[in-house]
Amino acid sequence: MSKSSSKSIDHAAPILKALVIHPARPLRGQAALEARDPNARLEEAVGLAVALDLNVVEALVAPLRVVTPATLFGKGKVEEFAAICEVEHIDVAVFDDQLTPIQQRNLEKALKVKVVDRTGLILEIFARRARTREGRLQVELARLDYERSRLVRTWTHLERQRGGTGSTGGPGETQIEIDRRLIAGTILKLKKELEEVRRTRTLHRSARKKVPYPTVALVGYTNAGKSTLFNRLTEAEVLAKDMLFATLDPTLRTVKLPDGRPAIMSDTVGFISDLPHELVEAFRATLEEVQEADVVLHVRDVANPDSEAQARDVETVLAELGVTLDEGKTVVEVWNKVDLLSEDDREIVEGQARRNDASAVSAVTGEGCEALLRRIAGLIDDSPPVEVSLAAQDGQALAWIYRNGRVLSRYDGPGGEVTLVARLDAQALGRFERQFPGAQVSAAVD
């Protein structure tokens, strides 16, 4: 049994047997209405474990009405988990929750197996999938940040103090203080390296801007099919597996639009609910591509019953990083995996997509992908900008322009009126004027 959470799962050893537990906490009010189904959460946790090549032999949803500070669950439940571990010869118990260091240590003692929480599991996946130098540095930084709070698991002799000699520690410095200081030094070093890598990437992005190619970024929940769609649209061969976090580092490719113009498309890491705070920064490189994009494709798995909740999770993580998908961004919702729906469900979903200005596609079969490319071409059209003046009550017209055009500037008047300067291709402009005859449209003045 491992005594330290800093030790990762040994993937060179024979395949480890895993027990996966999703603690289902009681929710009330709006939180209960928007909460994802516990069984879907369990299925996702199993997917995370499988992504680490764990052999999941048992998976269960365990109601958690009252949190026990020492072990998360009460004594009876912990004994039940211990019995499963013994009977099934479990090597790793995965708790789909964030455990405190004390809870993790006590559960390992009680279950007599290695215990991994949701944060530790995702960190393991990130560490295995990162390929670029920036990705590896960011994951290592997140890992050290996570471990810094868990040193109590390695050093239980907190009261022991050491008289310092040389650089090993000052007078009266405890062992845990020494370890924290060493980790802090490593974190500082990694941050400096990361800053240098980011400066280089900024230079590369500046060089790309000199080539006037429009940019398109794909975002979405993990396993929504972004990489498969990316491959379909760019005819590339990015790793596209039915696996959580198959893509971690941003990938850039050129795509040829139907009118012959080239554009740069970026595939990004998939998002996930309850993303541990240690890992939010690991999305920074991805989000910079999104922030710079002319068009953002929000890819959703409409065959997943939790599609709406997953979309909210994506928007939540983006908002945490200062990116919104509704203001000043041209965003297209891409409803993927329609090929997995029944004929009746597909008809309903495609009707909903039309009403919501979404693009229904199948990245696997290619259905809807040509229409999506035509839509992208229209959104990044280099038509002359127009000035659109809208009354305070014209919220629908305002939303329509954000969905179908490219907003260059916006002025909000004292009475709630809005003036936009935007690019709309000729076809979109005609549709807008027919649909919203009360809007004032004129050529923009330089």
Q: Residue 129 is inside which H or E element, if any?
A: helix 118-129
In this structure, are strands 359-360 and 330-336 parallel, antiparallel, or unpaired?
parallel
CB 379 within 8 A of CB 293: no
Torsion of CA 132, 138, 143, 145, to 10 degrees: 170
Among positive and negative, which fits the CA dihedral 323, 326, 329, 333?
positive
Q: Residue 318 is inside which H or E element, if any?
A: helix 307-320
Residue 120 exposed, middle or buried by CB count within 10 Å (0-12, 13-18, 19+): buried
Binding-site residues, in ranges, read 220-227, 245-249, 267-270, 336-339
d(Cα 313, Cα 303) in Å, to the nearest integer? 17
d(Cα 361, Cα 247) in Å, to the nearest integer? 20
Q: Number of H helices and number of E strands within the chain?
A: 15, 16
Binding-site residues for GTP, in ranges, read 220-227, 245-249, 267-270, 336-339
SS3 224: coil
Phi, psi of 279 (to 5 degrees): -105, -10
Work out the end-to-end distance of the chain between its first and last CA atoms, rounded to an integer number of angstroms: 70
Binding-site residues for Mg(2+), in ranges, read 227, 247
What is the DSSP-derived secondary structure letter of residue 152?
Answer: G
Residue with tokens 């047997």: 17
> What distance lies between CA 91 and its chain's CA centroid?
29
